[in-house]
Amino acid sequence: MSLDIFDDAKQKRKQLLTIFDTLPTITLYGVVGANGPSGGKTPPEVLWSLNLHLIAWRIPGELVRSVPLSVSKLVSDEELRALQNLIISESIIAFRGKLCENSPFGDARAELVGLLDQPIDNELELILSKFREPVEILDPLIGKLVLNKSVDLFEGKVTWLGQSIDIAISVDENDTPTSSLQTAKALLIAMEQWTSNVNDYAVAELLELKNDSWLDEDENPVTSEEFVSRMRLNAITTYPDGNFEFWLHDGDLFCGHTIQVSGSVSEGLTSADI
**Tens-digit pLDDT profile for residues 136-180:** 999 999 999 999 999 999 999 999 999 999 999 999 988 899 999
Would you say residue 1 has pLDDT above 50? no
233: Cβ contacts below 8 Å, ≥ 6 apart: 160, 163, 165, 195, 198, 246, 247, 248, 249
Report the largest interatomic distance among the alpha carbons of the chain, rounded to a whole angstrom: 73
- Backbone φ and ψ of 265, nearest 5°: -60, -35
Q: What's the average model confidence in pLDDT over 20-27?
A: 96
Would you say residue 100 has pLDDT above 80? yes
What the chain holds in terms of domains, given with CATH numbers, is 3-129 (2.40.50.140), 136-273 (no CATH)
pTM to 2 decimal places: 0.84
Q: What percent of the chain has pLDDT over 90?
A: 90
Find the helix packing angle between 178-189 and 191-213, rounded to 10°: 90
pLDDT digits (tens, 9 = 90+) for 172-204: 988 899 999 999 999 999 999 999 999 999 999
Return d(Cα 127, Cα 224) in angstroms, integer.
Answer: 55
